[in-house]
Amino acid sequence: MANVLIVMSGGIAAYKVLDLIRRLRERGHTTPVVMTEAAQRFVTPLSVGALSNAPVLTELWDLDREREIGHIRLARSADVVLVAPASADFLARMAHGLADDLATAVLLATGAPVVVAPAMNPFMWEHPATQRSVAQLTADGVRTVGPEAGEMAERNEAGVGRLAETSALIAAVEEALGADRPLAGRHVLVTSGPTHEPIDPVRYIANRSSGRQGHAIAAAAARAGATVTLVSGPVRLADPAGVETHHVESARDMLGAVERALPADAAVFAAAVADWRVNAAAQKLKKGSGPLPTLELTENPDILATVSRSPQRPTLVVGFAAETEHVLPNARAKLERKGCDWIVANDVSQGVFGAETNTVHLVSAAGVEDWPTAGKDEVAAKLVARIAEALSGA
């Protein structure tokens, strides 16, 4: 699903955000949280972190995170930013573009939709200064949800100023996401990682795939609103948030999981599937007990070709070609041989496996697009955007 960055400013309504975090996570969203100093006077980072199961950040001047410009990374990773509760002071600071703490710096650095949920005393809400702040933020494209009318925390106080109900906050977040969720209502199937083909109970044939690119594609598709099924070989990566992940070992296991996941609107076969398997020994092979064992290889099923020719073939089938030489000629031949729609080709001779960046070529019947070297998350986002564009015209 989506990465919902929650910014908490100070106010008694901060305690309501704890339930909001829990509800958002139940819907598959990830919920990193930034807390202002004032917010920490009402609820603790420990309580928030226990519910969010994601980072809770409080300091702009964090040496470990800011060494890599952490506030910029945080801002860029958000699919939507929700400020809840938004106090009168925080609305004024946002409206004036201040950036003297982590919360306001992130808000200036993000390109994601921003939703604010004001919560304050009715007199503070109705004050002309607060209304000017809200008007300026609205003009800047910030969405507002609430406040609502009701009893205040102060004795004998009532009026407009209560934080919007959790259901309204979730609806506002998902409405904001809807503007940038081109795969909403689509099912995307992704494979990732290597396969392991056993030689005996303790040894196997494998390859160097880390699964980072395939997992990034699954996460990007989920952020774009798709229902995503990820079939992953053995990797040392966490399952992407909001993605239904199935773990497999061998190529035959992967094919079975893929076929069970169909139908799908699009399938991206980023896994580096072993081409052959061994007629595995029932017991561990021992050295020094006779002649060297001979490994008899059998060709594995071709998952990409099988799905490309399946009666349940997705509208768009994308394969990957990891090559060490003649990258484009081999990719073109693979495109024709497999019967898929696109091939994402790259040269893996220079240590791409496990690296943070990738240089790919998108090969289709229309020709070849050479994409510049980029982070694997960026490659994933670009590929998912192209998939959404293709499906919208299908």
Q: DSSP letters along 135-146, please?
A: HHHHHTT-EE--
What residue type is assigned to position 297 of the chain? L
Burial class (CB in 10 A: 0-12, 13-18, 19+), 61: exposed
Gap between the terminal Cα atoms of the chain:
23
Cβ–Cβ < 8 Å for 216, 377: yes
Q: Which of the following is catalytic: 207, 279, 300, 330? A: 207
CB neighbours of 156 closer than 8 A, spacing ≥ 6?
none
Tell me, yes or no, if 300 is annotated catalytic.
no
* Dihedral sign from CA coordinates of 243, 244, 247, 248: negative
Cβ atoms of 169 and 85 closer than 8 Å: no
Contact 383, 344 (CB under 8 A): yes
Other C-beta atoms lying within 10 Å of the C-beta of residue 279: 11
Q: Letter for the amino acid at 230?
A: L
**Distance from C-alpha of 181 to C-alpha of 171, rounded to nearest angstrom:** 14
Upstream peptide bond of 311 is cis (omega within 30 degrees of 0) = no
3-class DSSP assignment, residue 362: strand
- The secondary structure element, H or E, covering residue 80 is strand 80-86
Which residues are catalytically annotated? 207
